[in-house]
Structure 1
């Protein structure tokens, strides 16, 4: 006397247990949520002036130079002194596709921006642009 059907016992289980997959995905999600802010570059908070949009050349090697409201200069998120900036720009300005993009805070003194521009000119930078917020 058999209580079960022999064909049911011999068949394979056709359902996938998704609980371990969900557990792994949740652990990965938590890891990415924790590590994502650490991988992003530390940006300076700069209030850029607003202007109209202008077309730009995509062939150039663009390097970002930021000047915060206190006049502190950072090249690609690395704080530099004026002498350190001059040395870095001399090394990079040799490339004909090099373009320096200046992001100056709206509250920074114009004299400080002029000093940075003079440092860039003495270092041999020939392509210089200013980044602003586009809007009306």
Structure 2
């Protein structure tokens, strides 16, 4: 706070605008430097996205469900490790390759899910997805 040198001894009632001018000059310089960067030199007409209809799924996805006790189901059929690997080998050979969706129980340990995903990815499946419930507010 600035004090006046007058004899009344009260506080100076004028506002000190020097810091305000300093801040405004810095902002002006920043905007002068960044304004040319915001305009693009090459003008390109970007395509507009329209999603009037859903894209067609060529191959239905395969669902792998994992229960909390470690049971693995391939399209609702109980599988052991050998059968799972056989089904994965058949799926890898298909053209186009379907996506494998993993549905895990809420209480399933992550180590079981990780082991299953590692098995799926190890066979050469390119698309692995996880299915969950939508968040409720």
Per the shorter chain, which TM-score range? 0.5 to 0.7
1:11-54 per-position Cα deviation (integer Å, ceiling 9, x unaligned)? xxxxxxxxxxxxxxxxxxxxxxxxxxxxxxxxxxxxxxxxxxxx
Once the 2 structures are TM-superposed, how far is the Cα of residue 135 of structure 1 from its aligned partner?
2.3
Please tell me whether residue 92 in structure 1 is matched to residue 122 in structure 2: no
Please tell me whether residue 110 in structure 1 is matched to residue 117 in structure 2: no
Q: For residues 82 and 126 of structure 1, what CA distance do their matches in structure 2 show?
A: 20
Q: For residues 105 and 132 of structure 2, what CA distance do their matches in structure 1 show?
A: 9
- Are the aligned partners of 1:101 and 1:131 in contact in 2 as well (CA < 8 Å)? yes
Q: For residues 84 and 55 of structure 2, what CA distance do their matches in structure 1 show?
A: 25
**TM-score (ref. length: structure 1):** 0.55
**TM-score (ref. length: structure 2):** 0.55
Q: For residues 67 and 76 of structure 1, what CA distance do their matches in structure 2 show?
A: 11
Note the 1:1-136 alignment, pairs <5 A.
Answer: 58-95=57-94, 96-136=96-136
Coordinate RMSD, CA, aligned: 1.9
Please tell me whether Structure 1 or Structure 2 has the larger radius of gyration of its CA atoms. Answer: 2
Give 3-state SS (helix, strand or coil) of 2:99's partner.
Answer: strand
Give 3-state SS (helix, strand or coil) of 1:61's partner.
Answer: coil
Q: For residues 120 and 132 of structure 1, what CA distance do their matches in structure 2 show?
A: 19
Once the 2 structures are TM-superposed, how far is the Cα of residue 123 of structure 1 from its aligned partner?
1.5
User: Unmatched 5+ residue regions in structure 1?
Assistant: 1-54
